[in-house]
A and B are shown apart, each in its own frame.
Chain A
Amino acid sequence: MTPDLMEAGAERVARASGIHYVSGSTESGGRAADFGRHVTPGEVDVTHGRILYLEDVSVSFDGFKAINKLSLDIAPGELRCIIGPNGAGKTTMMDIITGKTRPDEGTVFFGSTIDLLRHREAEIAQLGIGRKFQKPTVFEHLTVFENLELALKTDKGVRSSMLFRLDSAQSDRLAEVLETIHLADSVSRLAGNLSHGQKQWLEIGMLLMQDPKLLLLDEPVAGMTDEETARTAELFLSLKGKHSLMVVEHDMSFIRTISEIVTVLCDGSVLAQGTLDEVQADERVIEVYLGR
Chain B
Amino acid sequence: MSKVVLPTKGPLLSGKGWTAFFVALIVVCALAPVLNMWVPVDSPLHMSDYAVALVGKIMCYAICALAMDLIWGYTGILSLGHGLFFALGGYMMGMYLMRQIGRDGNYKSDLPDFMVFLDWKTLPWHWTFSDSFIATLVLIVAVPGLIAFVFGFFAFRSRIKGVYFSIITQAMTFAAMLLFFRNETGFGGNNGFTDFKRILGIPIATQEMRMTLFALTGATLLGFFLFAKWLIGSKFGRVLQAIRDAETRVMFSGYNPLPYKLTIWVISAVMCGVAGALYVPQVGIINPGEMSAANSIEIAIWAAVGGRATLIGPIIGAFIVNGAKSWLTVAYPEYWLYFLGALFIAVTLFLPNGIVGLVRKWLSREKKKTPPPEPAQDARRAVAAEQGVEPDALASLPVDAKGARA
> Chain B interface secondary structure, helix, strand, loop or mixed?
helix
Contact B236 A161 (CB under 8 A): yes
> Is there contact, CB below 8 Å, between B398 and A286?
yes
Residues from chain A with a CB closer than 8 A to the CB of B238 are 139, 142, 146, 149-150
Taking CB atoms, residues of chain B closer than 8 Å to A252 are 393-397
Q: Mark A221-233, 1 if CB is under 8 A from B, else 0.
A: 0111100000000
B392 contacts the other chain (Cβ, under 8 Å)? yes
Contacts of B403 in A (CB 8 A): 290-291
Are A223's CB and B251's CB within 8 A? no
- A137 to chain B minimum Cβ distance, whole angstroms, is 5
Judge if A193 is at the interface, Cβ distance under 8 Å: yes
Known: A149-B235, A196-B385, A291-B403. A157 touches B390 (CB 8 A): no
Task: State whether the Cβ of B249 lies closer than 8 Å to any Cβ in chain A.
Answer: yes
Number of B residues near A (Cβ < 8 Å) is 55
B-chain residues with CB within 8 Å of residue A156 when the two chains form the complex: 253-256
Tally A-B pairs: CB < 8 A. Answer: 168
Interface residue ranges of B300-347 to A (CB < 8 Å): 309
B276 to A: closest C-beta gap in Å: 26
Contact with A along B229-248 (1 / 0, CB 8 A): 00100111011011011101
In this assembly, does B263 line the interface, its C-beta being within 8 Å of a C-beta of chain A?
yes
Q: Contacts A85-B405, A125-B253, A280-B398: A162 and B381 contacting too (C-beta < 8 A)? A: no
Does chain B have a CB within 8 A of A46?
A: no
Q: In the bound complex, how far is the Cα of B5 from the Cα of A171, in angstroms? A: 10
Q: Judging by beta carbons under 8 Å apart, are B234 and A163 in contact?
A: yes
Query: In the complex, which residue of chain B has the Cβ closest to the Cβ of A250?
Result: B393
Q: What is the distance, in angstroms, from B195's C-beta to the closest C-beta of chain A?
A: 43
Docked Cα-Cα span, A253 to B392, in Å, equals 10
Is A222 in contact with B4, judged by CB distance below 8 angstroms? no
Given A150-B239, A225-B381, A158 contacting B260 (CB threshold 8 A): yes
Q: Are B256 and A122 in contact (CB under 8 A)?
A: yes
Q: Is residue A121 within 8 Å, beta carbon to beta carbon, of the partner chain?
A: yes
Hey, which chain A residues are within 8 Å of B377, CB to CB? 195
- A241: chain B residues at CB < 8 Å are none
Q: Write the residues of chain A forming the contact surface with B, with a CB cutoff of 8 angstroms.
A: 85-86, 98, 100, 120-123, 125-126, 130-131, 133, 135, 137-143, 145-146, 149-151, 153, 156-158, 161-166, 171, 174-175, 178-179, 184, 187-188, 193, 195-198, 206, 210, 219, 222-225, 249-253, 256, 280-281, 286, 288-291
Q: Can you list the 8 inter-chain pairs with the closest CB atoms, starting with the nearest?
A: A223-B385, A250-B393, A195-B378, A196-B382, A252-B396, A125-B254, A175-B4, A121-B251
